[in-house]
Structure 1
Amino acid sequence: MVATFQIIGHKKSGKTTLINDFFKIGQQLGYEIAVIKHTHGPVDIPRNTDTGKFYERSNDVLLINDTQTIHYQRNIQQSALAQIRQMQNTTKADFLIIEGLKELDYPKIALLKKDETPAVFGEISQIKHFVSIQQTTTTEDLLSVMDLDVRKEFITKFLRE
């Protein structure tokens, strides 16, 4: 099964930046990375397109072409965890990053915004690293990864472990 971990943090903490860096560095190391993105709002599909019209009228739309497939579903009967397990068993990726869903029990990297401390994550389980793209100071419980070279080193070490 694919190695799975989470990247969690509050809005605008740098989750997308860090995940994009995982993609770039992972690719350089020869790894394939898959991602699950949790979103709090509905998926926005423009209604004035064919896809939007189909999505508006159906709970299950599969878009396919010669190079990609996108499956849009509403009213899903499976839990998020069941869907994640399904992807874990079907992806060909080396790593699966789950963005968000902090209540799940996977190893986590917690991103802190400027002036946040690890205490903001209270009782969240399995946090392996507290990092910040916004804070300049590294402390005993927080690694500053503002510097791109430090971030690359952190990601490389994380993926190899």
Structure 2
Amino acid sequence: MKTLQVVGYKNSGKTTLTSRWICLLKNKGLSVAVLKHHGHGGQPAMPNPSTDTMQFFGSGADVSVVAGGGAVQILLNEEPEFAELKVLAAIGKPDILLIEGYKKEQGEKVVLLRDAGDWESLSGLDGIQLVIGCPEITAVSSHIESAQNVEQLDSWLLDWIEKEDGNETV
């Protein structure tokens, strides 16, 4: 399994890029898992409180799992460490694990920039493979000036997939 993190600050285009790449990879016949950091404060949106699953969860279940119709929902009453979250995300043994966020964690990263100020605070991140945005940035080996250059972005990802490094055992 290859793992790639897509990082940047709010409204930098992380979700848009991740969604695009999911479609690209699926069209190439690859299986894709995604792990997303909910960085907006508080809990992510929860299912309808009247469901059985939420009743169990609200009653204090440490884990509430519901399966049916070819899908599974897992609710945990605690937030596991990053490594454990990657194991959960990789449960289906995907070819590719895309991680949105978790910029301070180890791993190969694509960094999206809104402006030069973002680069000042993100340039020291570990594992940067590609920087997207902020055309005035020149001190990087792999840089695409705009997230609008979708052909370049897709080509970069497909080249990255072909590289031998980046494989990870979870």
TM-score range, shorter chain: 0.7 to 0.9
Distance in 2 separating the partners of 1:83 and 1:149:
31
What TM-score do you get using the length of structure 2 for normalisation? 0.78
User: RMSD value over aligned CA atoms?
Assistant: 2.3
Distance in 2 separating the partners of 1:83 and 1:70:
14
Q: CA deviation at 1:22?
A: 0.9
- Equivalent AA in structure 1 for residue 54 of structure 2: G
Task: Give me the identity figure in percent.
Answer: 20
Greater CA drift, 39-48 or 107-116: 39-48
Aligned-partner SS, 1:146: coil
Contact 1:47 1:56 in 2 (8 A): no
Aligned-partner SS, 1:75: coil
Residue 114 (structure 2) aligns with: 113
Change (3 A) 1:75 1:117: closer
Distance in 1 separating the partners of 2:49 and 2:86:
31
- Equivalent AA in structure 1 for residue 154 of structure 2: K
Q: CA deviation at 1:80?
A: 2.1
Distance in 1 separating the partners of 2:16 and 2:82:
24
Contact 2:35 2:89 in 1 (8 A): no
Residue 67 (structure 1) aligns with: 70
Question: Structure 1 segments of 4 or more deviating over 6 A?
Answer: none
Residue 57 (structure 2) aligns with: 55
Listed as ranges, the gaps of 5+ residues in structure 1 are none
Aligned-partner SS, 1:36: strand
Contact 2:116 2:137 in 1 (8 A): no
- Equivalent AA in structure 1 for residue 94 of structure 2: A
Distance in 2 separating the partners of 1:42 and 1:93:
26
